[in-house]
Chain A
Amino acid sequence: MTEETLLRAEHVNAYIDRTPFAQLMGMRCEIKGDEMTTVLPFQRKLIGNELIGALHGGAMGAFLEITAQAQVYLMTDLKTPPRTINITIDYLRQGRAQDLYARAYITKMGRRMASVRAEAWQESRDKPVTALMAHFLVIDS
């Protein structure tokens, strides 16, 4: 089990490292066993509204989508990252010009589909900035 999760963690890290879009965002993930926290360090290019200095909703949404996808990838034995079927993003608070963190929870792992929930926060985890609901296809194509 331990060896297996370690191996999965390597898969997930390799996926983040070799995906140009994840690199453009500058995100990274910290995996401890089956628990993963992703980090999106603040950068000026992630801003969506210069006037109020807020993070772009699309950037936060993409960060949460990759977080949810990586969590599914971590918990399955898929050869390639799961494909997204759909996502719903809730914008709860304004994303400030600070680092953003996220965690994903698998609500249901089916044979073909996985239902996942993810939340992003900044100063405090009980004040989520953005939440995501997503469905992924968990079969290798």
Chain B
Amino acid sequence: MTSDPTLSPLQLMQQNLDFITAAIPWGRQMGFRVTKVERGHVWGHQPYKDKLIGDPKTGVIHGGVITAFLDNLCGAAAGSTPDDARFVATLDLRIDYMRPAEPQRDILGEAECYHVTRSIAFCRAWAYHESRDKLIASASAAFAINKARPLNTMVKS
């Protein structure tokens, strides 16, 4: 990870997509990645894995995987909005499950931070196989925005 002090957190995220999930052990277990970041909008990919199955009869991935995936995408969307580096903490997260994910298929996700105040970021997120027209789940979350901190203290060296 580069920590050029002239870069904004957003630029740093864009140049180091894997850095966003690198410091998250549970994220590494799930195997999800952030694939694209714009200010307040992120896209991600959650691969299908046998160890994530929630229903052995059908091979459908557990809803808890989508919870972690959408929570992290929302957090990244919230974290991409301030001009300085800040941690965000989830206050609450609501998930509606529209239909089960299809077995053996990867899941795509997208999160949008649609309003930010000095202390709170409001986000929405979606999980799907092809497009937002056919959702697996949708999420809505609020994040507390913490104090600014030096960029190079955001990950363990």
**Which residue of chain A has the shortest Cβ distance to B58 in the bound complex?**
A80
Please choose the segment from B1-9, B22-30, B109-117, B120-128 that sits at the chain A interface, where 4 or more of its residues have CB less than 8 A away: B22-30
Q: A21-B54, A86-B95, A91-B90 are in contact. Are A48 and B26 (CB under 8 A)?
A: yes
Q: Which of A21, A63, A89 contacts B53 (CB 8 A)?
A: A21
Among B52, B61, B62, B87, residue most surrounded by chain A Cβ atoms (within 10 Å): B62
**Shortest distance in angstroms between B141's beta carbon and chain A's nearest beta carbon?**
9
A24-61 Cβ-contact flags toward B at 8 Å (1 or 0): 11000000000000000000111111110000111101
Q: How many residues of B contact A (CB 8 A)?
A: 41
* B97 in contact with A56 (CB, 8 Å): no
CB neighbors of A among B8-54 (8 A): 23-30, 50-54
**Which residue of chain B has the shortest Cβ distance to A43 in the bound complex?**
B25
Q: How many residues of A contact B (CB 8 A)?
A: 37
Q: Which of B27, B52, B94, B95 contacts A20 (CB 8 A)?
A: B52
On chain A, the residues within 8 Å of B69 by CB distance are 58
* A88 in contact with B93 (CB, 8 Å): yes
Q: A18-B56, A62-B67, A80-B57 are in contact. Are A46 and B26 (CB under 8 A)?
A: yes
On chain B, the residues within 8 Å of A61 by CB distance are 64, 67-68, 71, 93
* A47 in contact with B26 (CB, 8 Å): yes
**Shortest distance in angstroms between A96's beta carbon and chain B's nearest beta carbon?**
14
Task: Give the interface of A toward B (CB within 8 A).
Answer: 18-25, 44-51, 56-59, 61-63, 65-66, 80-81, 83-91, 94
Task: Give the interface of B toward A (CB within 8 A).
Answer: 23-30, 50-57, 61-65, 67-69, 71-72, 87, 89-97, 100, 153-156
A-B contact pairs, 26 of them (CB 8 A): A21-B51, A23-B51, A45-B26, A46-B26, A50-B25, A50-B156, A51-B23, A56-B26, A56-B68, A57-B68, A58-B26, A58-B71, A59-B68, A62-B62, A62-B65, A65-B63, A65-B67, A80-B57, A83-B97, A84-B97, A87-B63, A87-B95, A88-B94, A89-B92, A90-B92, A91-B93
